[in-house]
Amino acid sequence: MVKCLVTKLKGSASNNELLKLGEIRFSFTAIDSPTKNNLSVNIKFKKDSKMFVDGNGYFTDSNLSANNGQEVQFEAGISKTIYVANKNCNISILGKYDIQTLSCTGKIAIPLEGLSFSPELSSLITYDSLCYGDISFVKNLTKLDYLDCHNNRKIYGDISAFAGHKTETVINFYDTNLSGNIESLNEMPNLREIHLHGTQVGGNIDNLAGLPELKVFRVFNTHVLEGNIASMAKFTKLETLDIGNNKVTGYVKTLCENMYQNGRISGSLRIGCGENTVRFDSTTDFPSSGIVTATFTRSGVTYEGLS
């Protein structure tokens, strides 16, 4: 007969290098020319939570003059901006499972992969920052709405991480190192803005579908995007279409006439196609200015910028 011994054990670990449950920890190195903008983080949690710093670090005020100690409390559901003194230290965010919004646009380098266990996260703003990591952290985050992480080459990975998502309204990762196929963003019913210019995202725009709210599509300078510009006529709410420096072909006039036939009778569409194989129509090159604006009315379409 096999026997099993069951015991009840209580214990604790005094090793401060071990991460606490729900903790994101990262180092901060003092910077030149500190300002309140590059030493701040704004966070909102679903439940009460805390942040800590260690060593010589401490939290301060917007003037970067006060010593407010090494611990900050957060009340559930209330967005709060904290300022970190310009001292070498480790920074700990507790309650990563309950983070709802996070904004860090300065010199505090948060490892974004730690947010893969933040199912409540809806808004992430890290543009012009030192935050870093693989975009795969978004894969299982089903409440994401607003993401603005542009101008940061330390963010990389395949946009297939967004495949199957339904909640995003803005995806802004221009001038990052994202790659993959643009079709990964199909069937996102709330998505209004796509900003992926200066990335390595490719694919064929002819195959885009299921984006009924799309208003802004900026994908210039990827150099690998293909397709016919006229295929974008199915997105009748488009207001900005920047698609230059790619492998896209076709005629802008056909795009706009098809959009009109699809029911577009108001508003305007700004089209940017600099250094591209796109033409205005079969007999007219796209203007050297790189911009044409189409205006839609019940009687048809008019154009500005051709001369």
- Residue 38 forms part of a structural domain: no
Neighbour-count burial of 73, counting CB atoms closer than 10 A to its CB (0-12 exposed, 13-18 middle, 19+ buried): exposed
pLDDT of residue 277: 86
Q: Which domain holds residue 242?
A: 132-304
Q: Which residues contact 18 (CB under 8 A, 6 or more apart)?
A: none
Model pLDDT for residues 101-148, shown as the tens digit of each residue: 999 999 999 999 999 999 999 999 999 999 999 999 999 999 999 999
- Residue 118 forms part of a structural domain: no
- Residue 299 forms part of a structural domain: yes
Residue 62 has pLDDT above 80, yes or no: yes
pLDDT of residue 8: 56
Mean predicted confidence (pLDDT) in 193-216: 97
- Residue 201 forms part of a structural domain: yes
- Under the banding of pLDDT at 50, 70 and 90, the label for residue 274 is confident
13-17, 81-85, 173-177, 246-250: segment of lowest average pLDDT: 13-17
- Under the banding of pLDDT at 50, 70 and 90, the label for residue 250 is very high
- Residue 246 forms part of a structural domain: yes
CATH number of the structural domain spanning residue 220: 3.80.10.10
pLDDT of residue 269: 98
Q: What's the sign of the alpha-carbon dihedral 74, 80, 83, 88?
A: positive
Residue 6 has pLDDT above 60, yes or no: no
Q: What is the mean pLDDT of the chain?
A: 94
- Residue 225 forms part of a structural domain: yes
- Residue 287 forms part of a structural domain: yes
Tokens matching residue 32: 């030149």
The radius of gyration of the chain from alpha carbons, rounded to an integer in Å, stands at 24
Tokens matching residue 1: 């007969």
User: Structurally, how many domains does the chain consist of?
Assistant: 1
User: Considering the entire predicted model, what is its pTM?
Assistant: 0.92
- Residue 166 forms part of a structural domain: yes
pLDDT of residue 160: 98
Task: Please report which residue ranges of the chain form alpha helices under DSSP H.
Answer: 252-261
Model pLDDT for residues 9-25, shown as the tens digit of each residue: 555 555 567 788 899 99
- Under the banding of pLDDT at 50, 70 and 90, the label for residue 239 is very high
